[in-house]
Each structure stands twice: as structure tokens, then as C-alpha cells.
A and B are shown apart, each in its own frame.
Chain A
């Protein structure tokens, strides 16, 4: 599936040639030609050319599951940092609790970590998140690992194959937010291996056959421990 020759790194301002190509995300057109707007990897599909970013902040999209930390409290809402340019409010009405006005601190405090979903993003890029979906909740204990949002698909793998693999070996609870924050909880030794595995993916994100490589990596890690 992956065609290596198309994995070309482009630089902002670089022309993206191709007959009849239309500008997709991460590009712009000027004088009838399409150029890259971002530093990233060139990708063509369905007549559109896009640039997949290699770095940068998370751009919220409706329906994304993200991991956020509470950075501020209001009388009727909490403010979450979701690694995007904007903090995202979580309104009391979007939480599973009956919150009295001014009583938000009883439920969530500054520093708490949540698995939340982007509820909406308006044209001014104002974001709101919700906890009122299945599987969304506060994450107790554990720790956060941060990767670039553009590497999240590789960390998750096809149909979650990569995280499942890591979970299986390390017996950790892992949640991967689309915003590049990853929450891991388990035995400290296992958490360490899981974190190492994620750093491995981050470093070799462009590589082909990463899941198989990861299998070998984890096997070796645990073999060594067993000895």
C-alpha cells in the first residue's frame, strides 16, 4: 500500500507540481499554481494534493478523542489544555455530573487529566469539549507522554494494531488522544517499556513495517527481563 517514492519532504513555498491537482490541507494556490504551506510530507489523493505536517500544534476537529488537562476553573466550566493553540472549555452541562453553579471544584481540579471529545469548533476556532459520550471519563493516576499530533496515526496503527500490541505486551492501560497526548498507567517497569515503544514509533514513524519491528522490539524487551 505504502509507496515509498511519494514520501517526499516538502518545504513551505515549494511548488507542488502535477496535472490538474487541486489544493488540499497544508497547501495554498497562488497564480494558478499550488504550493506547500507547511513543512511536511507530500501526499496525493483523489485529485487533491496535501501536505501532512511533521510538526506543529494540534488542530481540533469535531469528534476527535483528545486527552486534556484541567488548567482553570470557572463557576460553570473547566478549561482544558488540549495541546492546541486555544484552551478548550468543558461546560458543566457537558459533564456526567450534576454540578451546582460555582461548585465545579468538587468534581475536577487543576491538573486532572481527562479523556474528552471535541464537541464543536466554530469559524473563529473556538472549541468546546464534552464528557457525555461513551468511554469518556477522568483518567486517574498514570502519566502523560507527548508526541507530535501528526504521528498519532502511527502510534494507533491500522485498526489500533499498534496500541493493541503495546498494551498486550506491557499490560498497561493506554489512551491515545488525537492531540498527541498519550496516557499510560500500569506497573512502573511496564510503563517505562510502553513509553520507550512510543518514542520508538515517533522516531521511526516514516518506516515501513513498523508494527512487525515493534513486535520484535517488545519481545526482546520482555525476554531480557525474564532472564
Chain B
């Protein structure tokens, strides 16, 4: 799956001015956009575009845990599935779970277990599905960011939102949020996830080597970036639920909204014929 080719001759990951191949500064994030509540069948959902990454997350539950023997008598389970679509990468990815996605699913589930109030829902399971539609390095962080918005959207109680963000080392320079080329030809990649309110680290992995000082710098970058993304997450959730009030205010305050326009069947019934005039 990973390209083992070498970087093209004359191509530099960091140029003389210290800019990266996509023109970013070392501490600059790729553009991130988040939308909450994009799927109607799931209890909660979110869509994240993070540079060239596109990730869709859906959450169900809390619901009865299946298979039954997995149920915990005193608390809920968090069952996560991180999956990459066959078309998410240049060479078709063989569909189905593999060693990598199984591991990522496990660590993400542990990250969320620390923030959700699991003891409020004994014997149940919170099912989190993350589908990577397009991958460009940093998909697990994008997936965590999306899933956390989806969990909040599903009305599941949690201590804080979780934000994923990676940093690493490329051509000897510590950089934030590696893209595909930097990830492939760089020296290290450190994905992490934080709960920004307390600064608690809920996921930390490292691929490659960093010195202690480099590692600390990488962490500082990621945590600062996490706070920025945290604001985007909160904004996405607010937007999702203030729409109707804004719409209503946009119209004349005392006039009833036009019934022809107002109730669009956006929930549950969009596929039923003959419901909308």
C-alpha cells in the first residue's frame, strides 16, 4: 500500500525558505472543514475534510451490545470501526479489515472510552463507524475528529470532545500535520488525540524516531493545533442545531413560516413517495 519508491530527484520536502511542498510553514495546518449531522439513519454523524482527507463518521447507540458476551454489566462498550474505502488510495485498497485498520480501530475506541460517560449505560454499546473516503496521511486523526463530533451529535454524554492531530519530522525539521509525501518520505509521524479542555492525551503513537526535544516540539505543535480544530468542531455542532432558529428569524418575526417551505422532510422520511407536495 505504501509507496516504496524514492523521492524524485531535485524535489525537496522543505525548501530554502523553510516552506513545505504544499507551501505551508512547519507549524501550519491543512485547511479543515467539519459538518455535523450529515446522515439521517444514524443517531449521530459528521463529515470532515482535512486537506485531501475525506472522512465520514456515523454513531449508533447506546444500544444493546452484540454479541451478548461482550456486554459489560456495569458500563457501556465503545465499538469502533475504522475503514478505508477501496478508492481512498491511489492503488486500490483491498477491502475489509486488515492488521492496520484493526489496530487503529482499537486505539480509537480506547481514546473515546476515556471521555464518554460509559457507566451511565450499563450493558450497552456505542458503535462508531469511520469511513475514510479519501486518504492523504493523517486519516486516523481526521477520523477521530469526525467521530467525536458524531458522538456529540448522537446526544451521548461525554467529558469533552476529542481532537486528533499529527505532527512529525521531515528532512530534519519538526512539522505539524504531515501530508502524503511528507509521511512517506519523512523521518517520523506522531499521531495523537487530546481532550482540549483538560489537555489529557487520549491517543499517542509514533512511527519513526524523534529526540526528546523534537518530540516535545511536535507535541506542542499538535496541542496548539488541536485547540484550533476544537473550535471548528464546536462551531459545526452549533451550526447543526441553530439552523431552524436562524431561518425563522430571517423571516418576519411575527409571521408564521410558509407551510409550503417550512416542513421539508429531512428526517427519516425523505425517501417516502408522496409525502412532500
**Interface segment, one of B3-11, B102-110, B158-166:** B158-166
Shortest C-beta distance, B234 to chain A (Å), equals 5
A54 within 8 A of B: yes
Residue of chain A at shortest CB distance from B239? A9
Cα A85 to Cα B66 with chains together (Å): 12
Shortest C-beta distance, B203 to chain A (Å), equals 17
Asked if B159 contacts A13 (CB within 8 A), the reply is: yes
Cα A169 to Cα B68 with chains together (Å): 47
B19 within 8 A of A: no
B183 within 8 A of A: no
Asked if B160 contacts A39 (CB within 8 A), the reply is: no
Cα A26 to Cα B43 with chains together (Å): 18
Asked if A85 contacts B121 (CB within 8 A), the reply is: yes
Contacting residue for B157 out of A38, A204, A220, CB 8 A? A38
Shortest C-beta distance, A17 to chain B (Å), equals 14
Q: Binary interface profile of B, 217-253, with partner A (CB < 8 Å = 1, else 0)?
A: 0000000000000000110011001101100100000
Shortest C-beta distance, A175 to chain B (Å), equals 18
Cα A55 to Cα B155 with chains together (Å): 5
Cα A154 to Cα B253 with chains together (Å): 19
A146 within 8 A of B: yes
Asked if B156 contacts A217 (CB within 8 A), the reply is: no
Asked if A55 contacts B154 (CB within 8 A), the reply is: yes
Using a Cβ–Cβ cut-off of 8 Å, how many residues does chain B contribute to the interface with A? 46
B137 within 8 A of A: no
Residues of B within 8 A of A68 (CB): none
B21 within 8 A of A: no
Within 8 A of A (CB), among B20-56: 43-44
Shortest C-beta distance, A49 to chain B (Å), equals 15
Residues of B within 8 A of A57 (CB): 43, 61-63, 155
Asked if A12 contacts B122 (CB within 8 A), the reply is: no
Asked if A85 contacts B257 (CB within 8 A), the reply is: no
B195 within 8 A of A: yes
Contacting residue for A85 out of B62, B157, B238, B269, CB 8 A? B62
Given A13-B195, A85-B124, are A200 and B153 also a contact pair (CB < 8 Å)? no
Shortest C-beta distance, B107 to chain A (Å), equals 21
Shortest C-beta distance, A1 to chain B (Å), equals 18
Q: Binary interface profile of A, 86-127, with partner B (CB < 8 Å = 1, else 0)?
A: 110000000000000000000000000000000000001100
Interface of B is mostly: loop
B67 within 8 A of A: no
B87 within 8 A of A: no
Given A53-B155, A57-B62, are A28 and B117 also a contact pair (CB < 8 Å)? yes
Q: Binary interface profile of B, 249-274, with partner A (CB < 8 Å = 1, else 0)?
A: 00000001101001111111100000
Given A86-B64, A200-B259, are A192 and B275 also a contact pair (CB < 8 Å)? yes
Asked if A11 contacts B117 (CB within 8 A), the reply is: no
Residue of chain B at shortest CB distance from A4? B245
Contacting residue for A39 out of B63, B153, B262, B268, CB 8 A? B153
Residues of B within 8 A of A196 (CB): 259, 263, 275
Q: Binary interface profile of A, 73-93, with partner B (CB < 8 Å = 1, else 0)?
A: 000000000000111000000
Residues of A within 8 A of B268 (CB): 146
B197 within 8 A of A: yes
Asked if A39 contacts B195 (CB within 8 A), the reply is: no
Asked if A207 contacts B245 (CB within 8 A), the reply is: yes
Residue of chain A at shortest CB distance from B238? A9
Residues of A within 8 A of B262 (CB): 200, 203-204, 217
Pick the most buried of A12, A26, A86, A192: most chain B CB atoms within 10 A of its CB. A12
Cα A42 to Cα B148 with chains together (Å): 21
Shortest C-beta distance, B187 to chain A (Å), equals 34
Shortest C-beta distance, A41 to chain B (Å), equals 9
Residue of chain B at shortest CB distance from A40? B155
Q: Binary interface profile of B, 140-170, with partner A (CB < 8 Å = 1, else 0)?
A: 0000000000001111111111000000000
Contacting residue for A220 out of B64, B121, B259, B265, CB 8 A? B259
A56 within 8 A of B: yes
Residues of B within 8 A of A38 (CB): 155-157
Between-chain CB contacts (< 8 Å), 15 pairs: A11-B152, A12-B152, A13-B161, A37-B157, A55-B154, A55-B155, A57-B61, A86-B124, A124-B73, A150-B155, A195-B275, A199-B265, A199-B269, A204-B262, A213-B257
Which B residues contact A (CB, under 8 angstroms)?
43-44, 61-64, 73, 117, 121-124, 152-161, 195-197, 233-234, 237-238, 241-242, 244-245, 248, 256-257, 259, 262-269, 275
Shortest beta-carbon contacts, A-B, top 5: A56-B155, A13-B160, A55-B155, A37-B157, A213-B256
